[in-house]
Each structure stands twice: as C-alpha cells, then as structure tokens.
Amino acid sequence: MKTQIAASIFSIVSAIALAQPAHAVDMTQDSGSPVGDNQNSQTAGPEGPVLLQDSHLIEKLQRFDRERIPERVVHARGTGIFGEFVPTADISSLTSAQVFTPGSKTPVFVRFSTVMGYRGSPEQARDPRGFAVKFYTQQGNWDMVGINWPIFFIRDAIKFPDFVHANKPSASTGVQDPNLAFDFFAHSPEATNMLTHLYTDEGMPDSYRHMDGFGVHAFKFVNAKGEVHYVKFHWKSRQGIESIRPQDIAHSIGADWNLMTNDLYNSVKAHSYPQWDLYIQVLSPKDLDKFDFDPLDDTKVWPASIPEQKVGTMTLNRVPDNYFESTEESAFAPSRLVPGIEPSEDRMLQGRLFAYADTQMYRLGPNYNQLPINRPVVPVYNNNQDGLMNEDDRKGEVNYEPSGVAEIAQQDKFKPVQTPLKGTTQQRAIHKTLDFRQAGEYYRTLSETDKTDLITALSGDLGRVTNDANKYAMLSYFYKADADYGSRLARATHADVSRVKDAAAHLGDN
C-alpha cells in the first residue's frame, strides 16, 4: 500500500513538470523590500536566540500560519478549469440572455467536485459530482451550479443541513457511517430515486471528462417580450460516460486517489480538450399541472416526452496555474443569474438562492466578488462599498439613492418577470410526491451488469445498517420502486423478502 501511494505522489510530480523560471528574480518581503538570506534566521551571535527584529522571518511564519481558509461546507474537494461556451442555436424566442446569442463566445470557469469528503479526500467516492459552471457573460456572471445527475436526494431546502450532517463524517468519530446516512434516508423516501442513481456505476465516474452534468432544478427562461418558459439544462459529455465498477474501486484508489484531477489536467495539457453539448428541455407554464408528479420537484426527471434540444457546446482548454486563486477562491451561486434567466419556484432552489452567497461572505469575505476568479468581465456599478479587503476603487460621494445627481441609473427593463401568486402562507409537503416510481423506471432501464453492480454497491452499505427498522424501511422503498430490485437487495443483505414485500405494500405513494 505504501509503495502504491508513493507511486501516485510521484506520478503527480512528473505529470505537472516543474516549471523553471527563465531568469531568477530577487526575493522580496511582502512590502517589496529585498530579502537577503532566506535560509538562516537572524540570531544573537552564533549560539544565541532568534531576534524579534527579523521581520522577514516573522512575516514568513505569520503568512504561513494563515494560509488555510475555511473549506467549503460541502463540495470541499474540487478541480477547476477554464474554457469557453459557444451557442449553437438561436433561442431568442425563449430567452433574452446574451450568452445564447448566435456568434458569441463566452469564457467559462468550471469546478468539478465530490460532495461529502474533506478538501484532501480521495476523488473516488460514492458521491454525486459537482458540475459548476461560471459563465463570464456580457450581462454579468451566470453560474449554473449543477451535478452529474438530473435529480437530487431531497426536495426542500429546510432538510439540507440535516441531509449533510447525516452523510458527512460522524460528529463523534469523524468517519462517514452508513448507519447515520440510512437513518436519515429511511425517513426521507423522496431520496429513493437519487440513491438508485448514486449506487449504480455512474456513482463512481472514472474521470470528470466521462460524465454528464445537469442544472437539476427547473429555471425560467424569459424572452424580450416577457414570456416565460420553464427550462432544465443538461450537459452531455462528448467523451461518453465511463465508470469504475465496484470490484475495481479499491485498486483505483490505491493507484491514485487524485485520479480525477490528474486525468482532466493531463488531458488538457496534452491538448485533448473535453467538450460537453448543452441541451435544454422546455415546458410551458400552462403544462405544469399536466403530470402525475410535480415538475418543480427536484427529485424528478422530466420525461422524454419533453424533447431535449441542443443549444451550445462548452470546451475546457486551460489548466489554472494557481490552485488557490482559481479553484479555492471561486464562488458559484445559483442566485447569480443574468437577464433572461430566472429561478423557478422549486423549494430546494429557493433555499440555495440564499445559501451560497451567504457562505461565500463567510468563507471568502464580503468582497469575494472582487477576486479575479469571481470578477465579472463587465464593469460593476452600485452603492455597495467598503468592508474587509475592499478594492473596488469606487469613486464619488453620491453613494445613495434616490438622488438628483447620481450617475448610476436603475434600469427598469431588467425587473424580474411578474409572476402571479396564489394561496395562503403554509408549511406543507408538496401534493404529488410520487417518491418511488421514477426509481423503478430507472432501474428497469439498466443492463443486467449494471443491475448487478447496483445491488453489489448498495447492499455493501445497506448491509452495514444495524438498525433493523431503518434497514427494512430502506428495503421497502426499493421494493416499492421495483419488486425485483427490492428482492435482490433483500437477499443480498440477508433480509426477509416477505417482510420487505409486506412493508412495501403499506407505502401509499406510487
């Protein structure tokens, strides 16, 4: 094992050949003044202690002591890369967003990630993969903060901190524990569809290049006339989908636990640029009620009867040369939208609209949008000012509105579309939950090999659940989704199939 890990470290070093500067430059302190000796501290004579006046030593240690910032509360392990997006269809009848104007080319920064692991955790984890794209458009930044599947585990933001607590390493041991995860999922049947995806081979992509991406939620497209359509986004990998099978996972981690980053960066450095085509599904607001599920529920896919149309292509072509200033300091937020794209009423998305910019003000500080990786390519004008590390170079004393002399104009034409509202304030689950059907439909599309791998991977974790009630609740959900699926899982976890069948019969919703 030791030898394998050492080998993987060396493979990284050789992959990222050490760049030699063309000519050596004089080392300076942060103030710019030259450093004489960077190898020996100033001391009181040959035997004496180190001197407080050694400002270079003190600054060097102080800066080192402060190198780490809080890691992302989720998606801490990630890989950033630059590229460009080119639209391939005229969809001005759907959206006024400039990023889709034919003939345009928009720079992007993409961050791929795992979800639950710490910043330095192995990249082969049974986890969704983050697929976050920042478009630096001529109307400001648009972030599409998605994952590699079209759905999610839960449908209401109020459950998200609990979902993460149960799935992150245990609060007492610091180790991930399926007992905690399945305790949560046994009481969250809406996760059945996503869990089925998670435990297929696609839960272990063999490379970031070999997976699709999805916006997951519905968004609203608004055209120049103010007409609204609901839309879902799908990035389709031109490299195809490839995964690591359960029996190969241990070897893969042993061989190189930074597999995903090394694969992506080595590919781009070898001028093999991965590409994804962007597809959309479009739904008219009048059709929202036509389904037996809720199209604004993020645990559901939209059916093939809502056709996908290709609208653009993204090419990733440049490896950042500063990990911290790109990948670590990048800040993606579903609320970062541009005219022509608006949030839908999806309850998860609504919570996300708040959470990202909020955590980023904590993780990076209030002026994080001024960092080069987050800064829009268009000028920023508003009356926000000051705060920690501000450097927006704002000029002028009229930093308020209304004003007869202000030079910054409001633009009424960019007001959000007017949406009719109905009902009264409430705190209730959605009507059409339909928690199990799509999981069963998905299961039945899998090949026999994929089904076998799913049963192997899922029973591996479910078999470790010691709480009988939770185990049988989970098995009943999978049985309700598909009898063959539930029976095979029950057998693989040494459970009583007839008890599972009986429990499934008492589940109302499918």
**CA 6, 11, 16: angle at the middle one, nearest 5?**
135
Residue choice 109, 276, 356, 472 for contact with ligand HEM (CB under 6 A): 356
Residue from 113, 188, 200, 433 touching ligand HEM (CB under 6 A): that is 113
The first and second tokens of residue 414, run together, are: 């960019």
From residue 250 to residue 289, the character string flagging contacts with ligand HEM as x (rule: CB under 6 A) and all else as - is ----------------------------------------
E strands, 72-126, are 78-87, 106-113
Q: Is 232 exposed, middle or buried (0-12, 13-18, 19+ CB in 10 A)?
A: buried
Sequence letter at residue 397: E
Closer to ligand HEM by Cβ: residue 76 or 475: 76
Indicate which single residue of 185, 332, 478, 479 sits in contact with ligand HEM (rule: CB under 6 A). Answer: 332
Q: Residue 142 is encoded by which pair of tokens?
A: 């648009």
Q: What is the 3-state secondary structure (H, E, C) of 15-48?
A: HCCCCCCCCCCCCECCCCCECCCCCCCCECCCCC
Residue with tokens 């998200």: 160
CB of 91 closer than 8 Å to CB of 311: yes
- Token pair of 61, please? 């240690």
- The verdict on 132 binding ligand HEM (CB under 6 A) reads yes
Distance from C-alpha of 59 to C-alpha of 1, rounded to nearest angstrom: 39
Structure token pair of residue 161: 């901190």
**Is there binding between residue 323 and ligand HEM (CB under 6 A)?**
no
Let me know the angle formed at the C-alpha of 316 by 313 and 317, rounded to the nearest 5 degrees: 130
- One residue of 147, 198, 280, 311 binding ligand HEM per CB under 6 A: 147
Q: Which segment (40-48, 313-321, 324-332, 483-491) binds ligand HEM by CB under 6 A?
A: 324-332
Q: Which of 89, 160, 252, 291 binds ligand HEM (CB under 6 A)?
A: 160
- Comparing every residue's Cβ against ligand HEM, the nearest one is 130
Q: In the block, which residue shows the tokens 């060396």? A: 10
Structure-block tokens of residue 250: 């241990």
Q: Is 351 in the site for ligand HEM (CB under 6 A)?
A: yes
Q: Does 299 bind ligand HEM (CB under 6 A)?
A: no
**Which residues from 432-491 bind ligand HEM, rule CB under 6 A?**
none
Of 238, 313, 295, which is closest to residue 438 (Cα–Cα)?
295
Classified as helix, coil or strand, 307 is coil
Question: In the complex, what is the shortest distance from the CB of residue 264 to ligand HEM, in angstroms, rounded to a whole number?
Answer: 14
Closest by Cα among 200, 328, 319, 324 to 263: 319
> Smallest distance from the beta carbon of 316 to ligand HEM, in angstroms?
14
Consult the annotation and say whether 118 binds a ligand: no
Residue 494, Cβ density class (10 Å: 0-12 exposed, 13-18 middle, ≥19 buried): exposed
**Residue (94 or 348) nearer to ligand HEM, CB:** 348
Comparison of 216 and 503: residue with beta carbon closer to ligand HEM: 216
Show contacts with ligand HEM in window 54-83 (CB under 6 A): 72-75, 78
CB of 364 to ligand HEM, least distance (A): 8
For position 137 contacting ligand HEM by CB under 6 A, the verdict is no
- CB under 6 A: which stretch of 205-213, 348-356, 417-425, 435-443 binds ligand HEM? 348-356
> What DSSP element (H or E) covers 235?
strand 228-237
- Chain positions 186 to 225 lying near ligand HEM, rule: CB under 6 A, are 216
Q: Which of residues 362-391 bind ligand HEM (CB under 6 A)?
A: 363
Q: By CB under 6 A, which span of 152-160, 384-392, 422-430, 492-500 interacts with ligand HEM? A: 152-160
How many residues of this chain interact with ligand HEM, rule: CB under 6 A? Answer: 28
Rounded CA gap, 132 and 181, in Å?
A: 25
Residue nearer to ligand HEM on the CB measure, 110 or 490:
110
Is the distance from CB of 194 to CB of 163 less than 8 angstroms? Answer: no
> Would you say 95 or 113 has its CB closer to ligand HEM?
113
Sign of torsion over alpha carbons 117, 121, 126, 131: positive
Cα torsion 183, 473, 244, 278 to 10°: value is -90
- Regarding 152 and contact with ligand HEM (CB under 6 A), the answer is yes
- Is 133 among the residues that bind ligand HEM (CB under 6 A)? no
Distances, alpha carbon 353 to alpha carbons 133, 135, 301, 383, in Å: 16, 17, 21, 22
Q: Which helix (H) or strand (E) holds 351?
A: helix 347-363
Judged by CB under 6 A, which stretch of 53-61, 139-147, 282-290, 373-381 contacts ligand HEM? 139-147
Q: Least distance from C-beta 362 to ligand HEM, angstroms?
A: 8
Among 92, 359, 452, 456, binds ligand HEM (CB under 6 A): 359
Query: Considering the complex, what minimum distance in angstroms separates the CB of residue 136 from ligand HEM?
Result: 16
Q: Which two tokens stand for residue 406?
A: 């202000």
Q: How far is the CB of 339 from ligand HEM (least distance, A)?
A: 22
**Complex with ligand HEM: residue 258 or 459, whichever CB lies closer:** 258
Q: What does the binding site for ligand HEM look like in residue numbers (CB under 6 A)?
A: 72-75, 78, 111, 113, 130, 132, 145-147, 152, 157, 160, 216, 298, 330-332, 348, 351-352, 355-356, 359-360, 363
Positions at the binding site: 356
Positions at the binding site for heme: 356
